[in-house]
Structure 1
Amino acid sequence: MTNGATRPLRAELAERVAVQGRMASALVELERHPGHALLTSGGLTGQTAQLWVGIEGELAGLWRDFDDHRRIVDAATAAADGGDLATLRRLLHDPSIEVSRTALPLHERGLTGVPERVEHVDLDTLHRRMEAAFDRVSAFVARADAAYRDALARVASPAEQLRVARRIADDLGTEQHAVAELTRRLDVVERAATTDPLGSAVDTGPLARDVGAVVARLRAATAVRDGWPDQTARLDAALGELDALRGRMVADRARAAEIVVVTLPSAPPDRRPALRARRAALLAIDGWPSRAAALESLLVAVAAEADTLRAARELASGLIERRGELRGRYEAYRAKAHRLGRSEQPEILRLEEELRAVLWARPCDLAAATRALAEYQRLLQAEGRTA
């Protein structure tokens, strides 16, 4: 019949065996962790490499402690199976596990002292020591993995944008140097994130901005290439409109010179030949980004020339309109003089004769008409105040 005193020892042993199984599972899971794979890849640098040296030593010590724990539990199991309760009790409770051996200097050990200090612990102490080491190692592994994933997440967006840029650049056959330089910069950032996740400050902002600028240029160039017929048709229409604008401007200047006496500024130089030469050279420009920029610049130049021609025409037509305005004002003052009963006054008659002679002359002296009309207005106002 089994002695009842053995049951607590056997129950304790069973618990030790179960704990040992959980230890083994936890250690295996730790070594299968992605962070552990990263740290043991052999390519660590910087702060991560320095920190890993100490943690790796703790991990190795953790496996040694586990081996000692397994050895003691196996020996305790054998003692229990053989009914050796004294050995079972000693293995479970006594400090029988050597955890360190330190050589002592001569002045500390004396003449007859032992040459080294050996530290032994019991299973409970070993268990606590292993728990503390496991917490430190697993926390470091998790921290390294989190830093690595965070860095890769920040790299992901510019990396994807760069893949887009590379595809478009290959399609267009341009921006190859810019894409290659951005790829080199991305490799530097990714390498830092991979080899030193805890020490590398992954700032992808400048890289993302530069990649975005290249993608924008490439997409703009693609839009120009795909819409080239429409874009050039718009340009050709704008160039054709310059012909009409210049014709109207020349006609209005000639009419103004015929109708009014005024010195017009020189007509704007004819820039159409130069603009058409730029239009003819567009397809000879190498690369769609440069071609797109040249097309946009040419459209702006054509629009500016159109504005110049409109302004020159408006100046000439405005002078003709000024004559009509002065005629209208004269008729209004003449009607007012009639209402006031002053239309027969000699000075009024003189001014009316002068104004008719000037305003209906061809060409019309606008300056003289303006002065005479101002005098007519002052005369009516002065006579109104006198009356």
Structure 2
Amino acid sequence: MGVTDPAGPVMDRDEVDRALARLGAEHEAIETSLLALQDHAGRRLLEGAELTGVTEERWAATEASITLLWAYFDAYSGALRTAREIRARRRWSSREDLVELTGLLRGESVTVPGAAAAGTPALPGPGRLSQSFSLATLVDRMNELYATGLDMVVAADAVWSALPARIDLLAAELQRTRRLAHSVGVRPGEHPAGDDLERVTRTLTRLRAEVISDPLAFWVPAQGSSAPGGGRPDTTVYDREARALDEVRREIEAVLGVRQDAEQRLIRLRDVLSRADRTLAEARTARGEVLAKIAATEVPVVSGPPTALQEQLATAAEYRRQARWHRLSPLLESLEQKAEDELQRARESLTAVTAPLAVRAELRGRLDAYKAKVARHGLAEDPLLVERYDAARRMLWSAPCDLRVAEQAVLRYQQAAAESLGGSRVPEQGGPEGR
């Protein structure tokens, strides 16, 4: 450690004492920080871990920086100790003492062996470059190295504190889900959920090993943050696998639910398909009646019951008997929707087939309603009304009934009734096809 001539005026005794007090406080703070870094849990873990990747590279550089940091601190401590010894020689320091103290406290008087000239961390040792610093510059260099080292240690520790424990919890949930999957027959190669479980298992195993050996690969620095370790663990892969496991668990729980209520669902399915068959049978009977009673109209053809649904229902029952719940679950869901669709189709078919009968019933009701209205006004024996009523009634109560002609007859009766009652004429309307 050499002493150079001070640049600038010589410090007086008060300035020296104030500088020594400040440097002493800085020395104490730096020593406390260095000891805390030395004892940091993350640092101890880094020293004992088998590191790879980014973390291995950064930890090698950080270890060198910490070594250099202690070398700086030792040099700083030595310079401060020397300055204190000079100041302690006399109560009133001589000018020679003040000149020497000024050089120590303000000049580039502290030489550190092995310090790289450009400021890059280098280890002390034979043949290494040395560099001289002022105490103020040395403090700045120590602060920089400390911040860099602490940032790396805190980041690694934050990842290790957050991710492995969460991965382990998820792995435990994964094992419970695998046991549940096995109980309902969901296995790899037989069901997509079983394949997903295998993939999640492999991913979590690989993720945990990578997090342990290379924690900094899972660290996202905070933009613009100056706090040590400012940032957060990258949980992208973990979150994705957690969502995948949730989806698999819901699917397996659905399969488990199928096991519990499969019989009731099969009974309901048989009932719905039976109602659809009865409705179609009713529609076929009604079609024959319509063809016999209604003339000059198109009657839709009624299809037979779908044999495919009955075959699938038989397959579902076989799956239940064999306890193949993972195959029964999607089949039941599909069948339930198809059965409801089939029942709706049967109802629509019955409605379409019986539409002409509904038209005839509406015309009969309208005819009788006007006859009752005419009777209330004492016109029941009116010859024209009797004639037109009888003509319309013969058409509506005869088979086959021509709905177009019958509707015109009803309209003529309505018109005559309206004229007899003093009302306006009833406008002409189209036949049943235009209604």
TM-score scaled to structure 2, two decimals? 0.63
2:306 matches 1:306 = no
The match for 1:81 is none
Distance 1:385 1:377 in 2: 11
Cα pair distance change 1:334/1:343, threshold 3 Å: farther
Does the 8 Å contact 2:113/2:128 carry over to 1?
no
1:368 shift after superposition: 2.5
| Count of residues in correspondence between the two structures | 361
Q: How does 1:180-195 map to 2 (within 5 A)?
A: 180-187=198-205, 189-190=207-208, 191=210, 194=215
1:224 shift after superposition: 0.7
The equivalent position to 2:304 in structure 1, one of 251, 258, 269, is: 269
The match for 2:7 is none
Q: Secondary structure at the match of 2:218?
A: coil
- RMSD over aligned Cα atoms: 4.9
The match for 2:361 is 324
2:265 matches 1:234 = no
Cα pair distance change 1:249/1:38, threshold 3 Å: farther
The match for 2:8 is none
2:180 matches 1:168 = yes
TM-score scaled to structure 1, two decimals? 0.70
Distance 2:128 2:270 in 1: 98
The equivalent position to 2:146 in structure 1, one of 134, 137, 151, is: 134
Q: Secondary structure at the match of 1:99?
A: strand
Q: Deviations over 1:89-134 (max 9, x none)?
A: x9xx969975125899xxxxxxxxxx99754679998677545533
Distance 2:74 2:391 in 1: 126
User: What code does the residue aligned with 2:253 have?
Assistant: R
Cα pair distance change 1:291/1:195, threshold 3 Å: farther
The match for 2:51 is 43
The match for 2:326 is 289
The match for 2:257 is 223
Does the 8 Å contact 2:277/2:305 carry over to 1?
no
2:42 matches 1:54 = no
1:266 shift after superposition: 0.8
1:304 shift after superposition: 1.4
The match for 1:344 is 382
Does the 8 Å contact 2:68/2:115 carry over to 1?
no
The structure with the largest helix share of the pair is 1
The answer to which of 322-331 and 310-319 deviates more is 310-319
Q: Which runs of 5+ in 2 are unaligned?
A: 1-16, 84-99, 118-126, 187-192, 221-232, 426-435
Q: How does 1:208-219 map to 2 (within 5 A)?
A: 208-219=242-253
2:157 matches 1:145 = yes
Q: How does 1:243-282 map to 2 (within 5 A)?
A: 243-261=277-295, 262-271=297-306, 273-282=307-316
The match for 2:123 is none
The answer to which of 355-364 and 254-263 deviates more is 254-263
Q: How does 1:7-46 map to 2 (within 5 A)?
A: 27=34, 29-40=36-47, 41-46=49-54
Distance 1:294 1:103 in 2: 73
2:219 matches 1:198 = yes
Identity %: 24
Distance 1:361 1:103 in 2: 117
1:305 shift after superposition: 1.4
Q: Secondary structure at the match of 2:236?
A: coil
Does the 8 Å contact 2:112/2:132 carry over to 1?
yes
1:299 shift after superposition: 1.4
User: What code does the residue aligned with 1:43 have?
Assistant: L
Does the 8 Å contact 2:110/2:132 carry over to 1?
yes
Distance 2:63 2:114 in 1: 20
1:330 shift after superposition: 0.8
Distance 1:103 1:281 in 2: 80
Distance 1:103 1:265 in 2: 97
2:413 matches 1:376 = yes
The match for 1:100 is 113
The match for 2:403 is 366
Does the 8 Å contact 1:35/1:142 carry over to 2?
yes
Distance 2:248 2:401 in 1: 61
Q: How does 1:51-90 map to 2 (within 5 A)?
A: 51-65=58-72
